[in-house]
Amino acid sequence: MPGFPPAPSSRSLALAELAAYDVSAWFGTHKVLDRVSLTMPAGEITALIGPSGCGKSTFLRILNRMHELVPSASMAGEVQLDGEDVYAPTRKLTDARKAIGMVFQKPNPFPAMSIEQNVLAGLKLTGTRASKDTREELVQSCLTKAGLWKEVKDRLSAPGGGLSGGQQQRLCIARSLAVRPRVLLMDEPCSALDPTSTRVIEETMLELAEEVTIVIVTHNMQQAARVSSRCAFFLAAQGTPGVIIEHGDTPAMFGAPQDRRTADYVSGRFG
C-alpha cells in the first residue's frame, strides 16, 4: 500500500505511547471517573470495555481534550503522549487534536463535500499546506489505508454523504489519517454497522496498528478479543464514578481474568 507523502517525522516517531495518570472527570458536580490510570502502548490496539455509563467514552474524549468542550465538564490528572503533557498550558489545542485523532460512533462525513474533499478537510482545519500532487497522493494513501480506495477511486468527486454507512465510517477514518495522527481514538466505530462492514473496519484497524496507536471503546466482546492486544475493563457501581477494575493483555483478560467481575462481564453474565 502507498505510504504517506514524505514528512519530517519517521515511522518510529509516529508510533507513540499514550498514558493517563490519576484521571478523574466531572460533569458539573457529578463525578463520572475516579483516578483512572492506564498506559496504551505504542503501535498496539487497546480496547476499553465495560457496561454503558461507566465512563469509557468520557475517558476517550479526555485523551484528546474533547471533554473540555462541554461547558460543565472538568477533569483532574494527567495525559501524556510520549511523556509530554497533552494538557500543558504551552501546548496548542489544535496540536493535541492533530496528534490524537478521533473516529466517532456515528459516521460524520461532511455531506456537502466530495469524498476527496472530506479526506483533505483536516488539512484546512490544521492550516497544513500541500501541493496538488501531494494532496492527490495523500487522498489515495489515506483511502487505501482505510480500505476504501478500490471502492471509490472512480468517483472521488461524489458526495461523501452518499456512501453507505460502512463506507462513510471508513471515509471518516481516512479523514483522520490525513493529518498524520500519532494516536487514533475510536468510539464504538462499528456499533451501527452490519457484520460485513464491521469485518472490514476491524481489518483496517489491524493494518493501521502498524503505523498508529489505536484506542477503541467497544461493547462487543468478540470484537475486543479479535482486534486488541490489550484491554481495560471499566465499571461503575451504582451511584459511584467509573474506575478500571482490571487491565492487561487481552488473551489473559478473557482467558484468565484476575477479578470475578471481569470474568462475569467478558463471559456475558452481566452488562
pTM of the model: 0.89
190 by Cβ neighbours in 10 Å (0-12 / 13-18 / 19+) ranks as buried
CATH 3.40.50.300 in the chain: give the residue spans.
15-105+217-271
SS3 assignment, position 223:
helix
Task: Please identify which residue in the block is written with the cell numbers 452481566.
Answer: 270
User: Does the CA dihedral 199-100-188-150 come out positive or negative?
Assistant: negative
DSSP for residue 87? T
CA distance 56 to 58: 5
CATH of domain 15-105+217-271: 3.40.50.300
Q: What's the confidence (pLDDT) of residue 12?
A: 40
Output the nine-digit C-alpha cell for 169.
465510517
What do you get for the CA distance between the two ends of the chain, in Å?
40
Counting Cα atoms < 13 Å in the Cβ hemisphere of 149 gives 14
Q: Which residues of the chain fall short of a pLDDT of 50? A: 1-13
At a CB cut-off of 8 Å and minimum separation 6, what does 198 contact? 166, 190, 223
Q: What's the confidence (pLDDT) of residue 224?
A: 96
